[in-house]
Amino acid sequence: MQSKIAKCLKLRYEPVAILWSDEKPTGALGLKGCKGGCVMVLFAQTAAKGRSAAFDRENFGCFGGGAGLGFGRQYENFPFGGIETFKYFLSTGLEGQGRDDLVKKICSLGSREQVENFLQGERYKKTPALVEDFLKVLPAMEVSKRYVVFKPLRELAEGEEPIAVVFLADADQISALIGLANYDRQGVENVFAPMGAGCHQIGIYAFREAQSDHARAVLGLTDLSARRNVRHILDKDVLTIAMPYRRFQEMEKNVEGSFLERRTWRSLAQDMEI
């Protein structure tokens, strides 16, 4: 499937379709187990190199990735204590919390960075209580199929209908996508930028919007860890915008007759390389 939006915006990267499926595409990339690996790296491979990827409930990389793809409340399975440990991992760290037994186990990990993250915290939230609040509002769901699949949009087979479509875009292109997402809608909040992992922003947040009567687009790749992980694949100036498939179809129909055919956008687009 070819996208009018992608052509008009002169996107550098292929839009990515996210599907739920009981079949794994032949030759699809994947992550082994649930002890490490970043979903966003495989997303970047799909967008930049045209490689499909597939994940299931036993193979999704890290626990944040499992949650982001819709494989349930995976933070309950977080190492060394589930949610109670994750609250400190994402915030202030376990050092000085009176858990010397746990600290000793963590110090036996091979990765110096992971040890530091457990002991000193990633500091993405100020307190463990704020992490607990974050987890309460984070969408949690169980996808209805065996696999969550990333596939280049142009490779969708006839009859395939993805759950979501994700664009990778620079600042000018993001501005155009936000404009197009608001072009045919009342109000001014038809795109939202939730805190979360990069895979949350293209996964469960977009999946939740797909269940809404007023589906919004989701601005993402604002996760610093994910940005670092994909830096060797993607240019440094891109963000994601994910949207439910039906909203993508509506926006595709609105390209013609919109500001994308007017002088302002064309003057910005003329210097873009394709």
Domain ranges (residues) in the chain: 4-27+34-54+146-269, 74-137
Q: What percent of the chain has pLDDT over 70?
A: 99
Residue 74: C-alpha distances to residues 194, 235, 241 (Å): 19, 30, 24
Instruction: Give me the long-range contacts of 181-184 (CB less than 8 A, separation at least 24).
Output: 181/216, 181/217, 181/241, 181/243, 181/247, 181/251, 183/251, 183/254, 183/258, 183/259, 184/250, 184/254
Cβ neighbours of 192 (radius 10 Å): 11
Backbone angles phi, psi at 81, to 5 degrees: 130, 10
Both tokens of 151, joined, read 């596939």
pTM given for the model: 0.94
Cβ neighbours of 189 (radius 10 Å): 8
Q: For the segment 53-105, what is each residue's pLDDT rounded down to a tens digit?
A: 999 999 999 999 999 999 999 999 999 999 999 999 999 999 988 888 888 88
Q: For the segment 227-260, what is each residue's pLDDT rounded down to a tens digit?
A: 999 999 999 999 999 999 999 999 999 999 999 9
Please name which of 210, 230, 81, 70 lies closest in space to residue 141, comparing C-alpha atoms.
Answer: 70
Cβ neighbours of 27 (radius 10 Å): 8
Q: In this structure, are residues 7 and 14 in contact, taking their beta carbons and an 8 Å threshold?
A: no
Q: Are strands 217-220 and 239-244 parallel, antiparallel or unpaired?
A: antiparallel
Q: Which residues pair with 151 in a beta bridge?
A: 17
Q: Which helix (H) or strand (E) holds 128?
A: helix 128-137
User: Please, what is the end-to-end C-alpha distance for the chain in angstroms?
Assistant: 18
Query: Over 80: is that where the pLDDT of 110 sits?
Result: no
Structure confidence at residue 45 as a pLDDT band (50, 70, 90): very high
